[in-house]
Amino acid sequence: MSTWVDDFLLAGPDDEVCLRFAGPVRRSELRHVVSQRQNLLRDMGIEPIHSVVMQQPASLDHVATALAVWRLGAQLVTVDHRVTPAGLQDVVELMRPRAIVTQDRVTQCPMWTPRSDHLLVQVTSGSTGTPKAVGRRFADLIGEVIKTGRLPGMPARGESMMVLAAFAHTYGLFAGLLHGLHSGAEVVVPEHVTALGLRAAAAECTGPVSIFGVPFHVRLLAAGQRIPGLRRIVSSGERLDQALLDAVDERLGVPVGQIYGMTETGMIAGDLDGRCCPAVGVLAPGVEAHTSDSELLIGMRTSPYLGRTEPARWQAGWFCTGDAASLGPGGLVTLHGRLDSQATIGGLKVDLVAVEQIMTRMTGVEEAVVVNDGVVKAYVVLRDGGSVDTEELHRVLAPHQRPRVIHTVPSLPRTPSGKAVRNVAVLEGALV
């Protein structure tokens, strides 16, 4: 089974540029580096019964480690490189791996337990609660790459994809790294995620460029200049505001598409060129879905969580996304916000995410997170010299929508993948 790495991900002409970090990486070089890392891990005693925890930023070493672990038939456990040492230790204690690979070293663990039957284990972002371990078996992993590749518009050989989302997470891993390796599209990771850095990276690309990022990156791009060769921007993670989409269209002249999915489910729906807006796209091939009490449910044979079933999330073959949604003709998916962001104020329903979006369009507000903690509270980051103007607040929000408490914070707490944290305790800690 381990030969799938060579046949499915590493096949292709030796001189083809498949990756680009500080410079181009050809397939022959990638195969060589993977073999070196495989030999190192084998010499450390890594066998198919073991798991390896990896915490590295997107780099050639990151890719080589991942593919080497899979070549050995072992289990790869990915941890975002921005997770704290304490967070990494939590994962190690949960998974009890045979080795830990970080940016600085490879460490052998004397105490370990045999792995589960999953080839890949990822840790959820924890934007609304405690992170959880999610596993993918061999068929799930291959199926996700194929499913993603069938989304209309996904880059192919001769095209370039600039991946700004972390490889440790589902979106950056499957829609970015693994799709690129399998399809032959050039995967580009810029040295500097700045407006100038992205332009410089795009100038080095060998084909038309699609940028895969999160809303933070879309906002960064919307404030910059046009990028030669840019074909589209694709976002995932949070709903995009129409004002932001309009800004990208005006400044850059390219469409903004979306991929909607979760760590537990993989990609659910996508629309790379933004043709379905305000919907997030149509259901991906093979995805079964229906709604129950407005919640979107996704068909899954087994629970995606390791060692637990999480009955509140997975029941009788259906995964509860927690997203309010509607399904239209042809599997068109329109999201209406998180169900846990819905509040009833004075007998009226209030979508707290919608309130966030309205507040971020206010003159003095850069970012906002709104939560219901018995009362509706807003945590806002102000623009330079800005403030929350009471008259403007009353003009843009109805009385039942207005936060009763507004806190100013220097920055919003975010998960390693860039999602805004909505855990009240964490937000209160940002006030200190």
Other CB atoms closer than 10 Å to residue 174's CB: what's the count?
24
Region 280-300 average pLDDT: 94
Place of tokens 């304490």: 86
Kindly list the domain boundaries of the chain, sorted by start residue: 4-136, 140-340, 346-429
E-state strands within 130-207: 133-136, 160-163, 186-188
Please say whether the structural domain 346-429 has been given the CATH code 3.90.76.10.
Answer: no
d(CA 107, CA 237): 32
**243 and 277 in contact (C-beta within 8 Å)?**
no
Q: How much is the pLDDT for 223?
A: 87
Gyration radius from the chain CA atoms:
22
Fill in the amino acid letter for 331.
G
Place of tokens 């991942």: 66
Instruction: Give 3-state DSSP helix, strand, coil % of the chain, rounded to 5.
Output: 30, 30, 40
Per cent of the chain over pLDDT 90 is 67
pLDDT band at 340 (very low <50, low <70, confident <90, very high): confident
Q: How much is the pLDDT for 128?
A: 46
CATH number of 4-136: 3.40.50.980
DSSP type of residue 114: -
Q: How much is the pLDDT for 131?
A: 63
Residue 351 has pLDDT above 90, yes or no: no
Other CB atoms closer than 10 Å to residue 363's CB: what's the count?
10
CATH number of 140-340: 3.40.50.12780
Q: Dihedral, CA atoms, 188, 189, 191, 192, nearest 10 degrees?
A: 110
pLDDT in tens, 48-73: 999 999 999 999 999 999 999 999 99
In terms of pTM, does the model score above 0.75?
A: yes
**Same fold yes or no, 4-136 and 140-340:** yes
pLDDT band at 1 (very low <50, low <70, confident <90, very high): low
d(CA 266, CA 295): 17
Region 257-283 average pLDDT: 94
**408 and 378 in contact (C-beta within 8 Å)?**
no
